[in-house]
Amino acid sequence: MRRVMVGVKRVVDYNVRIRVKPDGTGVVLDGVKMSINPFDEIGLEEALRIKERGHADEVVAVAIGSDDVQQQLRTALAMGADRAVQVRTAAAVEPLQAARIFLQLIAKEQPSIVILGKQAIDDDNSQTGQMLAALWERPQATFASKIEINGAVAVVTREVDAGLEKIEVDLPAVFTTDLRLNEPRYVKLPEIMKAKKKPLDVIEAGALGVDVTETLKVVKYEPPAQRTRGVMVKDAAELVAQLRARGVLQ
């Protein structure tokens, strides 16, 4: 079976204003709306479109975390994913650990395509897709803004610093998605009701043989410094004088 595996991460909704806890130990999550990471949602939409174009038979959504991630997996099922898999762990999984978990699932599911968001908006690491491709020893096409499947080959247009780059990779392969790839579909109530009946499998992280022990410790969280009020200047000479007074120019 031609299968597409998609990673889904639970993050604070991108519309929510993040607040740091007073003691600096993290961000406030109580009563905060949680959603699928936007880049992962784009990846899921692309997987569904690949299936709709006849290049895949099944879309499997995968999330790593506590039982709270089932909410996002149900959303993925409502969007159109055929199955969902939760890898249960209470630990804060780091990119290399996530890549190793996906590698174990790949051995079980045998997907022809794995799609991940190019980064998560909570930690911005942008590492898991690249690490997974290296561990899997398969090609990768990161920052994809267009994906075209042609049999056992994919032509991918990538967002790069100089503009756009088009590459060809053999399948199976790992793709990571950029914002311009697509616009995710809106989930309607009937699909939400149907999603409750779709299969959602739960696998303990320990059963996959991946060590999720914390290796990186966040010492402190701090909000960005508040911007100071701007100053209106009459001309370039006054601007230069202001910059010199602030020590920006010598």
Fold of 3-225: Rossmann fold (3.40.50)
Mean of pLDDT values over 131-156: 96
Task: Say whether pLDDT at 1 is over 80.
Answer: no
pLDDT tens for 109-128 read 999 999 999 999 988 999 99
For residue 243, name the pLDDT band (cuts at 50, 70, 90). Answer: confident
pLDDT at residue 216, rounded to an integer:
86
pLDDT digits (tens, 9 = 90+) for 164-209: 999 999 999 999 999 999 999 999 889 999 898 899 999 999 899 9
* 91 to 96, 98, 163, 216: CA distances (angstroms): 13, 11, 38, 12
CA distance 16 to 221: 17
Identify the pLDDT of residue 246: 82
- pLDDT tens-digit readout, 10-51: 999 999 998 999 888 888 888 899 999 999 999 999 999 999
**Residue 107 pLDDT more than 70?**
yes
Whole-model pTM?
Answer: 0.86
Length in residues, the chain:
250
* Eight-state DSSP code of residue 206: G
Task: Please determine, for residue 60, whether its predicted confidence score (pLDDT) is greater than 70.
Answer: yes
% of residues, the chain, pLDDT over 70: 100
Q: Identify the band that residue 70 occupies on the pLDDT scale cut at 50, 70 and 90.
A: very high
Domain assignments of the chain as residue spans, ordered by start: 3-225
Of 41, 93, 43, 37, whose CA–CA distance to 64 is shortest?
Answer: 93
Mean pLDDT value across residues 225-230: 81
Quote the tokens at residue 50: 């690949």
